[in-house]
Amino acid sequence: MTTTLPAKTAPKKSQSQWSIVRTQFLRNPLARAGMVILAFLYLITLFAGFLAPYGLAEYSTTDRISWAPPTPIHWRDADGKFAPYVNGLKREIDMETFRDKYVEDPAVVCPVNFFVRNPDIEGRSYRFLGFIPSSLKLFGVSDQCKLYLWGSDNYGRDQFSRVMYGSQISMTIGIIASVFSLLLGLVLGGVAGYFRGLADTLIMRMVEVLSAIPELFLLILLRAMFPLNANPILVFYIVVALLAFVSWGGIARVVRGQILSGREQDYVQAATALGASDARIIGQHLIPNSATFIIIAMSLAIPGYILTESGLSFIGIGIVEPFASWGSLLSLAQAGGFETLDSRPWVMIPGLFIVLAVLGWQFVGDGLRDAFDPRRRR
């Protein structure tokens, strides 16, 4: 009689913490949707100059076309072949409202060209990735016609181009401000939690003072200290600094609590006994143990900064001309009142991009929080 031994199964390979987190994150459908949304928006940010057919502040000096509707694109020529083109625009008077209206001029036909260059036109050149000079555009038409995919604003500037360029500020200011805010919170919270005593008292009292003042009021007050007609680049850095300054307190509080509990652990006592410096213990032992909180806090803070910057630009104290953010572009909807919904709804498109950006970061932040929490794993 022979007996068969069960086949040996190979032991399962153990997974690292980060491998488990990645697997749990990818199982979350909302987290995946957030990643897709953010990938789409950051591709727009990266290729804004290439996608925008016009310059950021470019408008016609000969025939200003204010509040022009989206330009209709004709995809086939008279023979039925694929040959996209647009017609010229004629300004007429609406006899019912006595306002300007724009109609197509069939006598003027401009083909839509792809991968065009117009280096001689002011404002068409840009720097790809921030340092590569280029004037290549994905599409464009001759100067006889206008190609307004999403209409024009009150100065006759292409709304599509300004939304593309606006993404560079709205999508990056949140990341930059959150990084500075996290650095402040980590440093000050770590100092307060590790050294305690006078340092802890001073830092925590500062946090309480900042939290006692309404954030929007504090931002407006601090921004009012600088001239409204300052250099636009300087204004950008001012807004980033203000956003980071008013938001580091909450992060410092949490980091302080984690440092207070972590400094009593055996590995910290062992490092102290071996002669490790305070900076080494904080930077290489205590702060890395807060990596979960840092990642989650940053992913959830970015949409808040995007909304705050949009709100500041919306009320006119954020990003200023000639630069644009989605918040400053959305302010055109407020200027038009109820007429915006009736005659020029395209000025509300920047609001859609703000919603997408906030939703994308919220989905990613919630997915990371669930992936790091063992109780929520699937």
Q: Are residues 201 and 308 in the same domain?
A: yes
Rounded average pLDDT over 141-153: 88
Question: Are residues 240 and 312 both part of a single domain?
Answer: yes
The CATH number linked to 243 is 1.10.3720.10
Rounded Cα distance between 329 and 347, Å, is 7
Considering only 12-21, 132-141, 177-186, 255-264, which range has the smallest mean pLDDT? 12-21
Q: Which of these three, 127, 157, 187, is where a domain ends?
A: 157
Per-residue pLDDT averaged across 310-334, rounded? 82
Residues 245, 366, single domain; the answer is: yes
Residue with tokens 């957030």: 34
Position with higher pLDDT, 118 vs 346: 346
Helix axes 159-195, 349-372, angle to 10 degrees: 30
Q: Is residue 174 part of a domain?
A: yes
Residues 143 and 249 in one domain: no
- Between 136 and 128, the more confident residue is 136
Q: How far apart are the C-alpha atoms of 147 and 139, rounded to whole Å? A: 10
Could you tell me if 176 and 305 lie in one domain?
Answer: yes
Q: pLDDT-derived band of residue 193, with 50, 70 and 90 as boundaries?
A: confident
Question: Residue 17: what pLDDT?
Answer: 67
Is the same domain home to 235 and 353?
A: yes
Q: Are residues 107 and 234 in the same domain?
A: no
Q: How confident is the model at residue 156 (pLDDT cuts 50, 70, 90)?
A: confident
Q: Looking at residue 121, what is its pLDDT?
A: 75
Indicate whether 6 belongs to any domain: no
Helix H, strand E, coil C: the string for the chain is CCCCCCCCCCCCCCCCHHHHHHHHHHCCHHHHHHHHHHHHHHHHHHCHHHHCCCCCCCCCCCCCCCCCCCCCCEEECCCCCEEEEEEEEEEEEECCCCEEEEEEEEEEEEECEEEEECCCCCCCCEEECCCEEECEEEEECCCCCCCCCCCECCCCCEHHHHHHHHHHHHHHHHHHHHHHHHHHHHHHHHHHHHHCHHHHHHHHHHHHHHHHCCHHHHHHHHHCCCCCCCCHHHHHHHHHHHHHHCCHHHHHHHHHHHHHHHCCCHHHHHHHHCCCCHHHHHHHHHCHHHHHHHHHHHHHHHHHHHHHHHHHHHCCCCCCCCCCCHHHHHHHHHHHCCHHHHHCHHHHHHHHHHHHHHHHHHHHHHHHHHHHCHHHCC
> Which pLDDT value is given to residue 41?
95
Question: What backbone phi and psi angles, to 5 degrees, belong to 3?
Answer: -115, 140
pLDDT digits over 15-70, tens only? 666 787 788 888 889 999 999 999 999 999 999 999 999 988 887 666 667 888 89
In a domain, 7, yes or no: no
Specify if 218 maps to a domain: yes
| Residue 15, domain member (yes or no) | no
Q: Would you say residue 244 has pLDDT above 80?
A: yes
Q: Residue 20 domain-assigned?
A: no
Last residue within a domain, chosen from 142, 157, 172: 157
Inside any domain, residue 24: no
pLDDT at 3: 57
pLDDT value at 272 more than 90: no
Domain count, the chain: 2
Check whether residue 140 and residue 254 sit in a common domain: no
pTM of the predicted model as reported, rounded to 2 decimal places: 0.84
Confidence of residue 260 (pLDDT cuts 50, 70, 90): confident
The reply to whether 316 and 344 lie within a common domain is yes
Q: Is the pLDDT assigned to residue 100 strictly greater than 70?
A: yes
For residues 183 and 229, state if they share a domain: yes
Instruction: Please give the average per-residue pLDDT across 303-326, as a whole number.
Output: 83
Q: Express as a percent the part of the chain with pLDDT over 90.
A: 15
pLDDT at 253: 87
Q: Does the residue 48 lie in any domain?
A: no
Is residue 126 located within the same domain as residue 192?
A: no
Q: pLDDT at residue 12 above 60?
A: no
Do 153 and 292 reside in the same domain of the chain?
no
Show the domain range for 133: 55-157
pLDDT at position 375 is: 64
Q: Could you say which of 113, 141, 157 is where a domain stops?
A: 157
Give the residue with greater pLDDT, 340 vs 274: 274
